[in-house]
Amino acid sequence: MGTIAAGIRNFGCGILTAAVLAGAAHAQEKVAQLPIRTDGPKSLDPVQGSTTYDNMACAQIFETLLVNQYADPMKFEPLLLAELPERLDDGKRFRFKLKQGVKFHDNPCFPNGEGREVTTDDVFYSLKRLADDQYEFENWWLLKDTIVGLNEFKENANDGEPSTPADYSMPVEGFKKISDHEFEIELVAPVTRFEWVLTMFQTSVVPREAVEHYGEDFFRNPVGTGPFMLESWTPKKDMTVVRNPHYHEVYYPERNAWEREDRRAGLHRAAGERVPFLDKIEFTMFPQDQPMWLQFAAGNIGYTQVPDEYFPQAFDKRTKELLPEMAAKGVRGHANKLLDFIFRGFNMEDELVGGYTPEKKALRQAISLAVDLNEFNETFYSGLNVVYDGPIPPGLDGYPEGGRAPKAYQGPNLDLARRKLAEAGYPNGEGLPPITYYSNRGGNAPEQTELLERQLSRIGVRLDVQLVDFSVVIDTVNKKNAPMFSFAWSSDYPDGENNLALFYGPNESPGSNHYNYKRDEYDRMYEQILTMPAGSERTEIMVKMRDMLLEDMPYIGSMARERHYTINPWLLNCKPTERYYGWFKFLDVDDSKR
C-alpha cells in the first residue's frame, strides 16, 4: 500500500524481458515467483506463529489433520487424516484415523537422514507443544479448557521456567491411543470450533526428533510433511521452498468441486492430478506495496493483492470488473470477500487510555466519535470496504443488520466527541498528553496515520506515532507496550465466536486478546457460547457481548475488505484465498506465457 506511482503504465513489452529471461533460466524446472506482503514471517515454527505471513510460510512446510477445501474454503476436508473424524458422544469425543504412508521430510535429525512415517504419538506431541511454556506465544488459547487433562498437563509438566521444555512423558487424559494410526481425543465439552482449530497452522504435526535436534533453532530449520521443504530464508527479504520428493498422495480438486465461474477461468483443468506441480517457489517479502505492484506489472511475480491506491488502474471502480487493457494482456482478476476486522485498538491496561471507569470509557468513546471510517474507506480503499459496528464481520451470526448497532459510538460526531472528551477530564484536549500509537510503516499506513492524526486533531487529541515493521508492531503489542495500535484480524474459521475470543480475558497478550480486555460478565458469556450449537439463543448472547464491547470501546472499528487480486497469465490454477494458505501446492506455471 505504498505511494501512488505510474505502475500499470509500465505494463509493457520492454519490462517483460527480465521475466522471459527468468523463465528460460528455469526451463528444466517449474518455478513460481510469489509475493509475501509486509516483512514476512517471524518464525517457521507453527506454535510460535500468529500472523497471516507466518501462516503463509508454515503452510508450505507443515500440515494439519484437517484443511480448508481449495474450491470452497468455507468447508474442510482430511489432510493428514484418511477420513473426516468420527464425532462421538454428541461431539464430546472424536475418533481419528491417520493416513497411511505419510512421512516427514528427509532431514539429518532422523537416522540416515530419512524421514519416518507420521504416527499418533506425533499428533499428541504436537498438540502438547501448545501447552509448553517455552512456546507460549499466542496460541495456547486455541486449546485452553478444551481437551480433558491438557490444562493439567500444562500446569504439571512445566517447571515454571519458560526456558525449560515441558515433560512430554506426562500423559493427557483426553488423548487415547488406539494404534500408531488411530486415536481418540476427548473434550471437556463439545466445543463448536474444535474441528476448525485442527485446520489452523498452529496445530500442524511436527516430529519430536527435529524439535530436539535443532532446539531453539527449529524455527528456522522446519521439518514437516508438507509439499515443500525449506531451501533458504532471509528474514524480511525472501524465502525459497523446494518440492518434497516423497510427498504423500494429494490430488487436485475434481471438476465438479468448482463453481461455473471457476471453470470459466480454467481452474478445473488439472482435476484429479497429483500435486504439487511446482518444483520450487521463490517468495519475496514486500514491506512496501509499490515495488510489489511494479514487479507484478513486469511479469516477475505470479499474482498480487491489488494495493488499494492501484485499484483504479486494474479494475473499474463502479463495476469492479477487470479493465479491458489488463484482460488483453492475459491478466485475470479475482475478488475475495474477507471475514475481516480492521480496527485501531487500545491496551486496556494502559494508564492513559485503558480502564473501565466512566471517565476512561469517555476518552475512548471521544476518540472513536472523532474518527470518520467512511473517509478512510473512500481515501484508501476506493470505497470498497464494508464499514460496520462490532467485531463480527459480515456474513456471520452476531453481525448487526445493515452493519449498524444501536449502541455504537460511530463517528464522525464531533460535538458528542467534544462532550465525551470533557467528561473524560480533558476539555478540548487540555491536559491530555500525546497517545503513543503503533502502526506498520509499510504500504499506505503512514498516509492512513496522517489522516487519523488530522481527524483527532479536530477535538484536540494528539498522537505520538511509532511507524515500525509489522513484526515489531506485533511484538510490542504482545508485550503490552503499545497503548494504541492498528492492524487487522481475519477470522480463523467462519464463526463470530472466533472474533469474540479476541476479548476473552484469559486470552490476554501475548494471546489473541491484544487489548487485554477483562470483564467477568463477558468472559462468562464467552464460555457459554463455546459449547452452544448455532441458533437464536447463542446469537442473542453474542449480540450482548458485541454491545458490551461497543460501550466499553477497547477498539475503534470496524471495516471489512473485499480483496481484489490480479493474476499473471503464466501462473495457473490460481484462486487466491486468505481462508488458509495450503493452496500453493495446487499452483502450476506455463513459462511460454511469461
- To the nearest 10°, report the CA torsion of 322, 324, 329, 330: 50
Domains, the chain, in order of start with CATH, read: 8-38+251-338+563-583 (no CATH), 67-210 (3.90.76.10), 340-560 (3.10.105.10)
Q: Which helix (H) or strand (E) holds 466?
A: strand 463-468
Determine the pLDDT at residue 87. 95
Q: Residue 22 above 70 pLDDT?
A: no
Overall pTM > 0.95: no
pLDDT (mean) for 330-353: 94
Lowest mean pLDDT among 68-77, 128-137, 417-426: 128-137
pLDDT (mean) for 113-133: 96
φ, ψ dihedrals at 499, nearest 5°: -75, -35
- The SS3 of residue 445 is helix
Distance (Å, whole) CA 108 – CA 130: 25
Question: Cβ distance 345 to 514 under 8 Å?
Answer: yes
Q: Residue 470 above 90 pLDDT?
A: no
Q: Residue 416 above 90 pLDDT?
A: yes
Q: Residue 3 above 50 pLDDT?
A: no
Q: Residue 109 above 90 pLDDT?
A: yes
Percent of the chain having pLDDT more than 90? Answer: 80
Interior/surface letters 358-385, b for 16+ CB within 10 angstroms, e for the rest: eebbbbbbbbbbbbbbeebbebbbbebb
φ, ψ dihedrals at 56, nearest 5°: -60, -40
The three grid cell numbers given for residue 300, joined into one nine-digit string: 516477475
pLDDT (mean) for 68-78: 93
Q: Residue 272 above 50 pLDDT?
A: yes
Determine the pLDDT at residue 5. 28
φ, ψ dihedrals at 462, nearest 5°: -115, 155
Determine the pLDDT at residue 2. 35
Report the side by side order of strands in the sheet with 182-186. 86-88, 93-97, 182-186, 175-177
For all residues of the chain together, what is the average pLDDT? 92
Determine the pLDDT at residue 493. 86
Measured over the CA atoms of residue 327, residue 490, residue 438 and residue 360, the dihedral's sign is positive
**β-pairing, 435-440 with 484-490?**
parallel
Determine the pLDDT at residue 12. 36
Lowest mean pLDDT among 29-38, 160-169, 284-293, 494-503: 160-169
- To the nearest 10°, report the CA torsion of 516, 578, 70, 328: 170
pLDDT (mean) for 460-481: 94
Determine the pLDDT at residue 137. 61
Determine the pLDDT at residue 27. 54
336 to 107, 380, 561, 576: CA distances (angstroms): 38, 18, 9, 8
Determine the pLDDT at residue 1. 33
Q: Residue 531 above 60 pLDDT?
A: yes
Determine the pLDDT at residue 318. 87
Lowest mean pLDDT among 78-82, 172-176, 403-407, 549-553: 403-407
The three grid cell numbers given for residue 145, joined into one nine-digit string: 479448557
Tens-place pLDDT, residues 74-90: 899 999 999 999 999 98
pLDDT (mean) for 360-374: 97
The pLDDT-based confidence of 122 (bands split at 50, 70, 90) is very high
**Cβ-based neighbours of 537, under 8 Å, separated by 6 or more:** none
Residue 238 pairs with which residues in a beta bridge? 234, 284
Tens-place pLDDT, residues 543-568: 999 999 999 999 998 999 889 999 99
Q: Residue 269 above 50 pLDDT?
A: yes
